[in-house]
Structure 1
Amino acid sequence: MANIYNFSSNALLKRIGLSPGKKLLVFLLSLVVVTIPMGYVYNSISIIFFVLYSILAAHKSNYSARVALLLPVLLFLLMVISLSWSINFKESLKALGKESALIFIPVAFYLNRSLAKRSVSDVLKNYGICMCLFAVYFVIRAIIRYADTGNIEVFFYHELATQKLNAIYLSVLLSLALFVFIDKKDKTFWGYGASLFLLVVIFLLSSKNIIIIDVLLIMCYYLFYSGLSRKTIIATVGVISIMVLGLGYYGKIYDRLQHEMVAPEQVDTSDGIHHVTIAEAWQRPKFAANYYFNGTAFRAYQIRIFTEMLREEPIFFTGYGINASEIKVINKGIEHSLDHKNGENESYNQLNFHNQYIEAFADLGIFGLVLVLTMALLNLINGIRHKYFIHIAFAVLMISLFLTESFLWRQRGVVFFTVFYCLFNDLRPFTSRIPTISRNREQAI
C-alpha cells in the first residue's frame, strides 16, 4: 500500500511538471521565508505549497525519530488542549489559526529527507538577498516620504518599517540576513556592502535589544569564527566599534537609548511627566496619568502583575488558555490605574506581556513555559555543537527576543521561528545522531 501511495504521489507531481528533489524543496522553503515580511496571504500560500509538496513527495525511508521537530508540535497540541479550560474560548480558538505553523511546518519537514548544510546554505542565500532587497525598498520609500513631508522621522523605527510590519519584527528579519552575509566565506565587494547596508538599516529601525545583540554577535564572529589574523581582527573590531558608536549617537537612536540608560531622577520633568523607576514599577499600587514607563520599567511592571496573577488564581499548571490572558492584563491595568496611553498612543493596559516566557506561562501554564524554554535551549545547544555561526546567531537572537516580545504569539513571529528552527535543527549531522525508525534510510539531501 505504501509503495502504491508513493508511486501515485510522485506520478502526480510529475504530471503537473514537478519532479521531487533538492532544488524544488530548496525553492519552496526559500519561498516560505522570503514572503514573511509580505502580506499574510502570500506567506500562507507559500506554506500551503510547501506542505502539499511534502505530502506528495513523502517516502517511508524519510521517516525517523527527530525529536527537535516534535517540540513545536507538542506546543501546538498543548494550545489545542487549552481550549478545554480557556477563560476566553472564542479568542483561543481564533489564535489556533495563526499558530498552525507550529504543526504544519514541522510535519512537512518530517515528511522530507533531512537537509544537508549545503541545502540550508542555499535557502539562507536566497533569504539574505531578498531581505536586502526589502531593506532597499523601505529606504527608498522613506526617501520618497521625506521628499514629500520633510519629516526626518520617516527614516526611523515604525515610520521606516510601517506599523503593520513593526520595526522590531523587521529588525529580526534583517538581522538574520545580516549574519548570512557576515558568515559568507570569500566575501565580495557586494557582500561587504550588503552587510554594511543591513547594519545601518537595523540601527535606523532603533530596536535597542536587537542592536545590542547584533553588535555582540558580530564581535563574537570576528573574534572566534572568522579565521582572520589577530591584526585583522583587531582592526575590523575597531572599525565596527567606531561605526556603531557613530550610528548610536545619532538622532532617534540616541534618544531611544537615552530613555533606557538615563536614571529617571536625572530626566527633565519640567514638562510635568513623571518617569517611572523600576522600583516604582514593581511596588507602586497606583499610577497617575502623567506617569511614563520606559521599556525596562514597563517590563518590570508586567512581570509584577504576572506574579500577582499567580498568587491570586490557580493557573500554575494550566494558564488561562492560549491568547486568553489579555483580559487579565487589561483588568490589572485598571486595578493599578494604568489605562492611560504611552508615547506611541497605545494604552499601557492594552499591551501584552512582551515576554514570550511569561506569555507562555500565563496562557499555557508551566508546561507551556517548559516547551518554549526547551526549544530555545535545544536550538542553542545544537548550534554550538555544530559550530554553525548562523545557527548560533539565530538561537541567541531568539532567546534574547523572547525576553522582550511575545514573538511566538504573532503570525510572522511563529512562522519565522518555526521554519528556521526546523531548518537548523533538522540538519543531517544532527539527525544522524538520533536512532532512526528505518535502518535503511536513504542518504539525506
Structure 2
Amino acid sequence: MLKRIGLSPGKKLLVFLLSLVAITIPMGNVYNSISIIFFVLLSVLAVRRQDVSFRSVLLWPVLLFLLMVASVLWSVNCTASIKALGKEASLIFIPLAFFLNRRLGRRGVDDILKNYSIGMCLFGLYCLIRAIVRYTATGNANVLFYHELAGVGLNAIYLSVLFSLALFEFLSRTHKTIMGNVSMLFLLIMVFMLSSKNIIFIDVVLIINYYLFFSGMAKKARITAIATFCILAAILGYYGKIYQRFVHETETGATVTSMGIHNVTINEAWSNNQFSSNDYFNGTAFRTYQIRIFTEMLQEDPILFTGYGLNNSGIKIEAKGNEHNLYHGNDENVGYNKLNFHNQYVEAFADLGIFGVLIIFIMAIINLVNGIKQKYFVHIAFAILMISLFLTETFLWRQRGVVFFTVFYCLFNDLYPQRVFKPAQAPDA
C-alpha cells in the first residue's frame, strides 16, 4: 500500500518518522500530534506479519493508559478525566506502532538520536536568538533565563530534559568532531541558563560518571576531563539567576525578608496547620507540604486502590490549600493551592491509586535495568533523568512529557539484541 503512494517501507522511513516525532516535541502540540499520526498511520500501512511480535516491555505504557480509561468509572469528575485522556493517548498509540514495526538495532536508535540532537541544537539556537532580541529591546536580563528563555507555553524544566538527552548523545559519541563538541558545550550552557536545579545536578553527576566509567579514556585524561568540566560547571553555576536559585533552595532556616516575607522551613511545611499570605515556600519546602497533604488525603478518603480519577487530585489539593490557608494567588501569580503535586509518583497515586504508581515504578526500573544490561550510556542517562524528574514534576501528565517518555522508553527498551560474535577457533594441529 505504501509503495502505491510512492513510499518505500523500511528502516529509513521508520528512522525518519521517529526522528520527526522526537524533534517536534518542544514545538507546538499540533506539530507533534501530526507527526505521531503520520508515524502510527504509516506503521499500520507498512505492517508485515514477520515484523509483528509480542514484546512485554511495550505493554506497560498501554496498561497505564487502560487504567486511566478505567478511572473514568470512579472519577469524582468524569468530564475532567475524559478530557485528560486525549493528551495521554500517546501511551497506547506509540507502543502499538512499535508492536507493528520491526525492532531497531543500536545503529538505528543512534541515527534517531543524532537527528534528534541536531534538532535540539537548532531549537536551542532559536530560543537563544529570541531571548537576545528581547533583551536588546527591554534590557531585562530575566529573558535569558528559566521559563522566559524557554518561551510561552514551554516549561523550562521540560526543555532542560530535552536538551539534556541531546547533550548526552553528543557526549557519548565514539568519534567526536569539533562541531559535535561545540554543540555539546552549547547544550550544556543552555541547560544551565534554563536554571532547573534538579536537572543541572543530575546532568553534572551523569557527565562525571561518563568520564569515569564509559569514556574509555586513560586515567590521566579522565582526571583532566573531569577537572575541566567541574571548573566549567562551577563557573556556569555561579552566574546570575542560576546561583540565586541554588541559594534559595538551600535556605533551611525560618527567615523574614525586608519585605515581610517568611521563608517556610521543611519542618514548618510538614507540621504547621495554618499558613499566611506572607509565607514563601521554596521547592523543597513546597514538595514537603504536598507530600504531607497527600498523606492526609489517604487518611481521609478511600483512594488507596482507585485514586480520585485521572486529572482530579487538583480539586482536593485546592481544598487542602483552603483548609491550611495557603496563599491563593492574584491576577499575576498562581496560588500555591492551584499547583499540582509536582511529583509523578504521588500524582499517579492520588489520581489512579496504588496500581497507577506501581506501573510507573515498574517502567522506571525496567528502563534503568535494561540500560545497565546494554551498557548503553544514553539509555542509562535517560532512565536516571526520568526517575529523578518524576520526583519533582508530573511529567507524564503533560502532553510533551508523555510523548517524550513513551517514545524514548519504547525506542531504548525495544532494542533488537546485539549479536555476540565469537572468534573462530583455530583447527587442531
| TM-score bracket, shorter-length normalisation | over 0.9
Shift of 1:65: 2.6
CA distance, structure 1, for counterparts of residue 312 and residue 186 of structure 2:
40
The partner residue of 1:372 within 360, 370, 374 is 360
What code does the residue aligned with 1:393 have?
A
SS for the counterpart of 1:113 is: coil
In structure 1, the gaps of 5 or more residues are: 1-11, 433-445
* Structure-2 residue corresponding to 1:128: 117
**Residue 308, structure 1, aligned to residue 296, structure 2:** yes
Structure of greater relative contact order (alpha carbons < 8 Å, 6+ residues apart): 1
Say whether the 8 Å CA contact 1:114–1:431 is kept in structure 2. no
CA distance, structure 2, for counterparts of residue 151 and residue 53 of structure 1:
47
Say whether the 8 Å CA contact 1:171–1:202 is kept in structure 2. yes
CA distance, structure 1, for counterparts of residue 331 and residue 239 of structure 2:
20
Deviates further, 139-148 or 56-65:
56-65
* Structure-2 residue corresponding to 1:199: 188
Say whether the 8 Å CA contact 2:24–2:32 is kept in structure 1. yes
The correspondence of residues 345-364 of structure 1 with structure 2, limited to 5 A, is: 345-364=333-352
* Structure-2 residue corresponding to 1:401: 389
Say whether the 8 Å CA contact 2:256–2:263 is kept in structure 1. no
Shift of 1:430: 8.2
* Structure-2 residue corresponding to 1:324: 312
* Structure-2 residue corresponding to 1:289: 277
* Structure-2 residue corresponding to 1:16: 5
Shift of 1:211: 0.2
* Structure-1 residue corresponding to 2:247: 258
Say whether the 8 Å CA contact 1:323–1:363 is kept in structure 2. yes
Describe the shift of the 1:47–1:423 C-alpha distance in structure 2 as closer, same or farther (beyond 3 A): same
Describe the shift of the 1:236–1:431 C-alpha distance in structure 2 as closer, same or farther (beyond 3 A): closer
Over the residues paired in the alignment, what is the CA RMSD in angstroms?
A: 1.5
* Count of residue correspondences: 420
The partner residue of 1:226 within 212, 215, 218 is 215
Say whether the 8 Å CA contact 1:292–1:342 is kept in structure 2. no
* Structure-2 residue corresponding to 1:418: 406
CA distance, structure 1, for counterparts of residue 256 and residue 139 of structure 2:
28
Shift of 1:287: 0.5
What code does the residue aligned with 1:248 have?
G
The correspondence of residues 34-433 of structure 1 with structure 2, limited to 5 A, is: 34-265=23-254, 267=255, 269-341=257-329, 345-429=333-417
CA distance, structure 2, for counterparts of residue 421 and residue 392 of structure 1:
11
CA distance, structure 2, for counterparts of residue 364 and residue 430 of structure 1:
37
Shift of 1:343: 13
Say whether the 8 Å CA contact 1:105–1:418 is kept in structure 2. yes
What code does the residue aligned with 1:296 have?
T
Structure 1 residues 292-340: Cα deviation after superposition (integer angstroms, max 9, x where no partner): 0000000000000000000000000000001111100110000000143
Say whether the 8 Å CA contact 2:342–2:391 is kept in structure 1. yes
CA distance, structure 1, for counterparts of residue 419 and residue 329 of structure 2:
49
Structure 1 residues 79-105: Cα deviation after superposition (integer angstroms, max 9, x where no partner): 000000000100000010000000000
* Structure-2 residue corresponding to 1:443: none
What code does the residue aligned with 1:295 have?
G
Shift of 1:431: 12
4+ residue runs over 3 A deviation: 341-344
Describe the shift of the 1:92–1:310 C-alpha distance in structure 2 as closer, same or farther (beyond 3 A): same
* Structure-1 residue corresponding to 2:425: none
SS for the counterpart of 2:2 is: helix
Shift of 1:254: 0.5
